Amino acid sequence: MAPRRWVKRSLQGGAEDSQTACKKEEVETPSLRPSLSTEGASVAVVGGGFAGLFCAERLAELGFDVTLFRARSRLSATQMEHEHNTVYTRPGAAFFDYGCQLITAGDPWFRGRMEAYEAQGLCHKPNVSVLSKTHGLQRFAEPPGWAGTRGMWQFQEQVAEEVIARCKIKLITTATSWPPKVGTRYPDKPLLLDDYHYGPSGWVLGNQKGQSFGPYQVLCGAFNSQTMLNTQLKRREVSKMRDYLKQIRFQTPIVAMVAFERPLELDFTCAFVAENRCLAWVSNNNRKIAGGRFESKRELWTLIGTADYSYHLFEKLGTGGYKKVALKDFLDSFGELVGRNLHERGPEAVRIMHWEAGVEANTPPSDKGCLWDAEKRLGWCGPWATFASAEGSALSGRCLAEVVAAGGPAEVGYPQGSWRDAACRLRPGYVRLSQGFFYAPGAPDCLVSIDPPATAGTEDPNCWCLGLRVQGMRFSGLGCRV
């Protein structure tokens, strides 16, 4: 295999041009119901993040027989290690939210769902501020969004458990027990699924163990990792979908999980960082998790870099040198913003990652909210079709379910034309930041949408390799967006 070559693909025009070229209206879920010919039809949904989960939920509500495939890789268990735990909180163990940091909701349906989960105690609204050199610390009048009460990963799992049980969705997963015990290992291979065959009876899914699932009348996909697209969508009948999805580009923030021996003595929980070349977000996990009742011997912070800074630093130094430089720059910038020398607080970089498949940065030239191959009854959903956030993922999943229920109108298809920068999806009240889209009406004036950032792509479609090895482990962007 030829070496991977990341390239920056220039955008035609600025954000205004993109907004003009791509419709800005909110992706609406049409009011549709399944026809008699499709009610009770079997559907396989592959991908257990918010896109796949809420696609499966809506299909079940509309009367379909739904099977949801959710995989567990070695990463899921290795992240339960004492100093690398980003999955489940445990007494005395370090814990970090490392991916999705905050879930906001501008859509009334999604806001209602988040409020319901808050009432059940699954999530809460942390104290969120905006931190900048010019204006210091500015607080929101009302908390703009939610975080998982016990972390974002556990929140996603609790939502999945509730949806699967309530809607009586069939679940096929590699995990025999969850959460895993310390030391548990799930093999990366063979994959739960790596073969998709479409024939006269419908879709039959299989793997290298010789297991076979199906047939299903409809197949809905909800993942966009280029590694998985190449690994799983090998057959001719799925090649058109695979090649179309390879047009996705990503903002690639650097994420640092830092443990401080001595507390920073700051009176905020988490903050968007504005007007800073290095930092985009800072969060105190001790205060953010469990409503501030999470105990740890050290103060645990998640620091996320800006998209442009992260891209150019990794492009310059590669895997061999970016971590040390990023840590110093993050600590210097954060310290300058809060008026403290953070190097004197005993910082330790527990983990630093380049989130290569982190945040979708472009979108198809369509406002349909999903893709649909009418000939093969094959659909795909994800935040790239709406906007990069947990909310965008959920809305795309529901859009695809409604398309299936409508009998798969051919006009959804594969939208023709160049993909646009994600700025075209901005709507009133939203900001597009280095770590995704956020609904933040009434935010301080200094919190503004970023210009179209440098994005990761590849010159050779056969050489996508988005897995990132950090301390012997592979990391891929979370498909849940949560």
* CATH code assigned at 14: 3.50.50.60
Residue 170 lies in a domain: yes
Predicted pLDDT of residue 63 = 94
Residue 363 lies in a domain: yes
Residue 148 lies in a domain: yes
CA distances from 101 to 8, 136, 146, 264, 468 (A): 26, 21, 9, 20, 20
Predicted pLDDT of residue 319 = 81
Predicted pLDDT of residue 355 = 80
Beta bridge mates, 134:
none
Predicted pLDDT of residue 81 = 56
Predicted pLDDT of residue 368 = 92
Predicted pLDDT of residue 71 = 77
Nearest of 4, 2, 10, 3 to residue 361 by alpha carbon: 10
Predicted pLDDT of residue 182 = 62
Predicted pLDDT of residue 350 = 87
* CB count in 10 Å sphere of residue 240: 16
- Count of structural domains within the chain: 1
Per-residue pLDDT tens digits of the chain, which is 482 residues long: 333 333 333 333 333 443 443 443 334 444 343 343 456 799 999 998 999 999 999 999 999 999 999 876 544 545 555 555 666 666 666 678 878 899 999 999 999 999 999 999 999 999 999 999 999 999 998 999 999 998 888 899 899 999 999 999 999 987 656 566 665 655 555 667 888 999 999 999 988 888 899 899 999 999 887 777 877 888 899 999 999 999 999 998 999 999 999 999 999 999 999 999 999 999 999 888 876 566 677 899 999 999 999 999 998 998 878 999 999 999 999 999 999 999 999 999 988 988 877 899 999 999 999 999 998 999 999 999 999 999 999 999 999 999 999 987 767 889 999 999 999 999 999 999 999 999 999 899 999 999 988 887 643 333 333 333 222 222 222 222 22
For the chain, what is the largest distance between any 2 Cα atoms, rounded to a whole number of angstroms?
68
**Structural domain range at position 164:** 6-251+359-475
Positive or negative, the CA dihedral 384, 108, 482, 331 is positive
Query: Which two structure tokens, joined as six digits, stand for 104?
Result: 């906001």
Predicted pLDDT of residue 17 = 42
Predicted pLDDT of residue 23 = 41
Predicted pLDDT of residue 447 = 95
Residue 277 lies in a domain: no
Residue 211 lies in a domain: yes
Give the SS3 label for residue 331. helix
Residue 267 lies in a domain: no
Rounded to two decimals, the pTM is 0.85
- What b-and-e string marks burial along 429-443, b requiring 16 or more CB atoms within 10 Å of the CB? ebbbbbbbbbbbeeb
